[in-house]
Structure 1
Amino acid sequence: MSVRIRHRAALAGVLLALALPTAPAVAQAAPHAGVPRVAAVKAPKPATLTVTGEGRAAAAPDMATVTAGVEATGPTAKEALAAQNRAAEALLAAVRGEGVADRDISTRTLAASAVYETGPEPGASPRVAGYQASQSFSVTIRDLRRTGALLQAITDAAGDAVRIHAVVFDVADPSRLRAAARTAAHADARAKAVQYAELSGRKLGRLVSLEETAGGRPRPVAAAFDEAAGKVPTAPGEIEDEVSVRAVYELK
């Protein structure tokens, strides 16, 4: 009786052992167990070189902007404005007669105000002596050969009422001029950087940053009047654009 019980108990132990999951033969070590931690060593920052570059580009102008107007006075505001209107119409007719399209003509200012004068008695309050009316226009000339003729035409048309404020020559597409100036500025900066690197016994590395500050310089031209010439002579000259850059390079 006791033998059977032991046999059954042994058999039950075998069956229980077979039902249990098999333990791994070798226990896995925890990650990095027993391995000392090593602090990461940062690479030193490379030396850098900062330079500035200047670039200029010039081109002949292909357009001009004329700022001109008329001015008239009269004993009343109505009369002054009427005289100004007649002079302005004559000016515009002359401009259109020189082949300027309406899209290239725009009003810049229009004003009417009283004209004061001081009384003969000392300390007397100023009094209204009349009225003045004025109007100015911006005219774009796309054929530079017509600039002098146009100035002469508006002077002949409006007479003493005409006022020529400025003639500014420019280029219709300034992007090409700016691009050429940028190319020159970049080349100037790199040439300086190469030289400084060689003087330091180093080699020039990669470009780290590049910053631009720029400003074009169109040149206004004051018109000179010469009746014998039959038109107002002008000197367009050249339009110059300038770019400045600040560049940072690494040194090897």
Structure 2
Amino acid sequence: MTERRTVSVSGSGQAAAVPDVMRLDVGVAVVEPNVSAAMERAAASMQAVLDALLGAGVARRDLATSQLSVYPQNRSGDEPGISGYEVTNMLTVTIRDLGAASAILAAATAAGGDDLRVHSIALTIDDPSVPRSLARDAAFADARARADQYARLAGASLGQVLEVNEDSPSFGPAPRMTAYAASMPVESGEQQLSASVNVVFELS
């Protein structure tokens, strides 16, 4: 029985896409002498930020609490002890209209005042299925071209596909920034979606 000859190759491909969604962690952090005062002030400031975000056009489904913490503030020096309490309340906000992002951030800043905190901002692609499919096409084409070259070098012809294994697809680095100034302009830039595939071809 003649042993089947095969060639196994890896292919990679990329497709460009423009981010169309911004996700940011925004909220408030306050320090007061006692827990009750800190919780009350944080609640009022967060409600103001929430109202501003909703008023600026963010849908309620795009607002999700991501952090709520209470930490004592320790006094240093000759009289150690608790000097107050810090309450932090953060939201993950999804902004689907990048053209309105700067105005939305400005509204949140005005509402939160000195209590406002913006931990991070990331630009991403809401539906990556189309560019991801294009990346897969490019990865498979790359694998076939490599396999075809190896077949020619071996004096053989490329046959049918016997096996296909895809590595986990990935995004290129998402544009990220930390920010406090809400009036800054927002540029979406471009991201690369990558695909990698391992393919086994029969040689004839």
TM-score normalised per structure 1: 0.76
Aligned length: 203
Aligned partner of residue 190 in structure 1, secondary structure:
helix
Distance 2:121 2:103 in 1: 13
How far 1:117 sits from its partner (Å)? 2.8
| 8 A Cα contact 1:223 1:234, kept in partner | no
Aligned partner of residue 146 in structure 1, secondary structure:
helix
Which position in structure 2 is the counterpart of 1:165? 119
AA aligned to 2:191 is I
Which position in structure 2 is the counterpart of 1:143? 97
| 8 A Cα contact 2:120 2:179, kept in partner | no
Distance 2:181 2:170 in 1: 31
Which position in structure 1 is the counterpart of 2:72? 114
| 8 A Cα contact 1:207 1:250, kept in partner | yes
Which position in structure 2 is the counterpart of 1:86? 44
Question: Which one has more relative contact order, counting CA pairs under 8 Å at least 6 apart?
Answer: 2
TM-score normalised per structure 2: 0.93
| 8 A Cα contact 2:132 2:194, kept in partner | yes
RMSD: 1.7
| Correspondence 1:1-252 to 2 at 5 A | 43-120=1-78, 126-217=80-171, 219-222=174-177, 231-252=183-204
How far 1:142 sits from its partner (Å)? 1.2
AA aligned to 1:166 is S
How far 1:113 sits from its partner (Å)? 1.8
Distance 2:180 2:69 in 1: 27
Structure 2 stretches lacking a partner, 5+ long: none
Distance 1:115 1:224 in 2: 25
| 8 A Cα contact 2:121 2:179, kept in partner | no
Q: Between 216-225 and 175-184, report the one with greater CA deviation.
A: 216-225
| 8 A Cα contact 2:119 2:178, kept in partner | no
- What do residues 200-233 of structure 1 show as CA deviations (whole Å, max 9, x unaligned)? 2211111110100123225032155668xxx221
AA aligned to 2:53 is V
- What do residues 161-205 of structure 1 show as CA deviations (whole Å, max 9, x unaligned)? 111112121222111121111111111100110011111221111
How far 1:141 sits from its partner (Å)? 1.0
Which position in structure 2 is the counterpart of 1:39? none
How far 1:236 sits from its partner (Å)? 1.4
Distance 2:122 2:72 in 1: 31
| 8 A Cα contact 1:147 1:234, kept in partner | yes
Mark the CA change 1:239 to 1:97 in structure 2 (over 3 Å): closer, same or farther.
Answer: same
| 8 A Cα contact 1:167 1:222, kept in partner | yes
Query: Percent identity, aligned pairs only?
Result: 38
The structure that is strand-richer by fraction is 2
Aligned partner of residue 169 in structure 2, secondary structure:
strand
